[in-house]
Structure 1
Amino acid sequence: MPPELEAALPWVLGALAAGLFLSWLVTWLALSGRRTRLEERLKAGERQLADLAARHAAATSEATQHEANSQALRTQLAEIRTRLEGETRGAAEKQALLDRSEQRRVALEALLKPVAESIGKLDSRLAETEKSHGEGIAALDARMQALAAQLDVLAEGLPSPALPVKLPEFGDDFGFVPDPQQKAFSAASDLRSALEG
């Protein structure tokens, strides 16, 4: 090897080593900056992944809660439908009972209308009978008083008997036959009280 090169060899080797070291250092620094950026990006990705996992867990929890609420609402809806169907059936049954009772009321009114008319006619006849009966009693009472007055006049002209004669008073039982109109009135009153009771 030429002696000039030999003297420069340590410098060349030092320069080469320094160049290699510098290139390694530059590469290492460049790569470490890039590595730092990659690590930061990796950490940011991990944070995003953790955020996404937390959001996913929250969304899953919320979906589970929504599903539970939805199931509870479905159950309530089924209960309400069942209750509504029962109430609808009950209302239909009540309406049918009301319709039947109205039909029975109309049929009963139709049956009782002739009886009511007959009772009304009987009441008017009884009123007429009572009126004529009252007039007859008043006339009979007037005739009895007139007869009693005539007997008194006749008795004044006769000698007095040894025993006093007692005439039966009006209403005493001396072969009195009950009035058929009075019997009819009594029967009508009994019938009326039975119908009202």
Structure 2
Amino acid sequence: MIGRDKNRTLWMVLKIDRLDPSELTVIEDSTAYSEIECFDLLRRIHEGNRSSGGLKFVTACYGIVGFIKFLGSYSMMLITKRKKIGAICGHTVYAISKSEMIPISKSPNQSNMAYSKNEKRYKKLLSTVDLTKDFFFSYTYNVMHSLQRNLCRNETGEVHYETMFVWNEFLTRGIRNTLKNTLWTVALVYGFFKQRCRIVSGYGVAVECYLLSCID
């Protein structure tokens, strides 16, 4: 997986082991690449693996929702489309427009249990969770905390997942504990977000934010 900042000046590489689908093994490349260096790295990896098909583009994404494993191998849940729904103190808040679950491994040696009725039933239950409704997140603002707490403690930037309001805390625990950072994941809050702008006579434009988080 390749990640970059919005200015395309910093490129990072995340390696996910696909040999043992029963274990989650992720390694972050410590090198910070330029765009040219990153594409040169991908080219060399593609050439070196051309006999087995080389590199193939899977999807573009805007963050990892988490990794999930039932009876078979791990799968990775990704945000593949997003939309801006508002801003708090200059920090953009997004909703999910589309998500996708990517299996870590397609090895033919997987246990038959992975294709059992129970595995299919669990995945069907997961598919009933519509991430495009009532979920929101921000890359730079801790939406799981109150406005007062963020302003008083200046808690922006670094995301703290250990809170009852982060819906995907458990799904991201493995990768966060391994990498010791939250650069690749997003903290989802399940609840209600609505923002309206109103004209206040004599004071220009005032912004009213209504934010309600659910523990559900």
Larger gyration radius, structure 1 or structure 2: 1
TM score, norm. by length of structure 2: 0.18
Higher helix share: 1
Which structure's relative contact order is higher, taking Cα pairs within 8 Å and 6+ residues apart?
1
Higher strand share: 2
